[in-house]
Amino acid sequence: VYKVSIPTIDKIVALKLLNPVDHMVDLLGWDEIRKQFLKEAKLMARLRHPHIADVWDYDEHQGKPFFIMEYLCNNLGMVIGESYRVEDPTRRLRLDKAVKYALQTLKGLSRMHRAGIIHRDVKPFNILVTDQDRVKIIDFGLSKLRGEAKGESPSNIKIGSPYYTAPE
């Protein structure tokens, strides 16, 4: 994901470019990864909710697809000081702020569920925090639609982030 400027309208946006690592291409194939990327953009773009990030455009450049979404420079992972070293302690939030963020996240997830979308990767780094101290859910890359058949992924691929994936 890149922070980019649209100079004509003087707007900063986020550009999410599909650039998978080689071993993922070997496992899933470029066509499947591309299909999942387009699905992510479509799922995010069709939802209009104050606690879900907006997607505004989709295109490709030199054979690589990308989509444009709103740019927010802070996420809940940064707010609590979380790192990818999960054993390290994080900062505690005040109770009122933690409840506020939790309720907003649940409202966004509720909207997704009403649309039949299961996120499957809810974690602090996928919850952006706006300048108005509101949260917005991002990264629908692992999402699936309710009732959707299991994909063509190899059976040894696990979905989600360690320490945040549901036990089932």
Q: Would you name the residues annotated as active-site residues?
A: 121
3-state helix, strand, coil in the chain (%, to 5): 30, 25, 45
**39-63 burial, b for 16+ CB within 10 Å, e for fewer?**
bbbebbbebebebbbebeebeeeee
Nearest of 40, 41, 16, 36 to residue 24 by alpha carbon? 36
- For CA atoms 86, 122, 120, 33, the dihedral sign is negative
